[in-house]
Structure 1
């Protein structure tokens, strides 16, 4: 991993920078799943990665207000120029540390069944992979569900 990439907590103003690149980085339109409210209300638990050329990656995550043992990773992106360099792993590990420091014992995430890269990445990061779960996000909207326990040996 290139150590010149700096990771910091997100700020509400980072929303515009993320939305400007997320569709291109994901190679499909997903900006609609990242409304401004995520960085307005969960910027302290979200992360921004930057290098000398600008935005290098991001992780939008939160500590569940309803499940005191759970944290959730909503959207992650890494600039195509940095894929394969370990930045996504670095962002996840930093989020895991935040979650553990907040007393959380599990981290969850979801993806569409077609997102094979995400399924492989989460499996490699130690998440259990469940699904596809039929109708998870409504009729006909199946999802793969990921969960990783924290603090286990």
Structure 2
């Protein structure tokens, strides 16, 4: 399946909230909180749709990465039940990791429910490592959060960027 990712907008809020509420029944974010995140200038939210049938949002993910900050955070991610296991979560995460690196972050953090081994395995495969546990973090269920961290690398400049680089005064003398 081919996924198309694009920036989330306020127009996506109804579909995002439907996924949020079906994925996180007991601890879903409020509409107001989600809208603030989508519209916040330091956040970067994406939605994923099936490229062949782009009518419905099948997943979303959000990043908090303020300018100049060395750390970035995955705020949330969800994929519809019918689209799980088809690579959409990995594509969303990969794009958020790249965006955080582009913004200059050196590390990415996230929390994952201790009772979600599928998501935990995905994050491990993307280079995250467990660094801490927050007991009873997810309420009202009282489920622990596993705190994870991944190092980020700055993207390599493209050949065009290298070719058009202006030499410094020391290099040109």
SS at match of 1:30: coil
Q: 2:145 aligns with which of 131, 143, 146?
A: 143
SS at match of 2:13: helix
Does structure 2 conserve the Cα–Cα contact (< 8 Å) formed by 1:42 and 1:62? no
Q: 1:59 aligns with which of 53, 58, 61?
A: 61
Q: 2:168 maps to what in 1?
A: none
* TM-fit CA distance, 1:44: 5.7
Unpaired runs of 5+ residues, structure 1, are none
Distance 1:31 1:102, change over 3 A: same
Distance 1:28 1:116, change over 3 A: farther
Does structure 2 conserve the Cα–Cα contact (< 8 Å) formed by 1:12 and 1:43? no
Q: Which has the larger radius of gyration?
A: 2
Matched residues, number: 147
Cα distance in structure 1, aligned partners of 2:138 and 2:81: 28
Q: 1:77 maps to what in 2?
A: 78
The answer to whether residue 20 in structure 2 is matched with residue 22 in structure 1 is yes
Task: Kindly report which structure 2 residues correspond to 1:108-123, keeping only aligned pairs within 5 A, or say none.
Answer: 108-123=109-124
Q: 1:40 maps to what in 2?
A: 39
The answer to whether residue 76 in structure 2 is matched with residue 49 in structure 1 is no
Q: TM-score, normalised by structure 2?
A: 0.72
Unpaired runs of 5+ residues, structure 2, are 155-173
SS at match of 1:73: strand
Which digits, 9 at most, give the CA deviation of each residue in 1:34-66, with x for residues without a partner? 62211121586111111214111110111046x
Q: 2:135 maps to what in 1?
A: 134
* TM-fit CA distance, 1:20: 1.6
* TM-fit CA distance, 1:33: 6.1
Cα distance in structure 2, aligned partners of 1:37 and 1:46: 11
SS at match of 2:47: strand
Of 41-50 and 7-16, the range deviating more from structure 2: 41-50
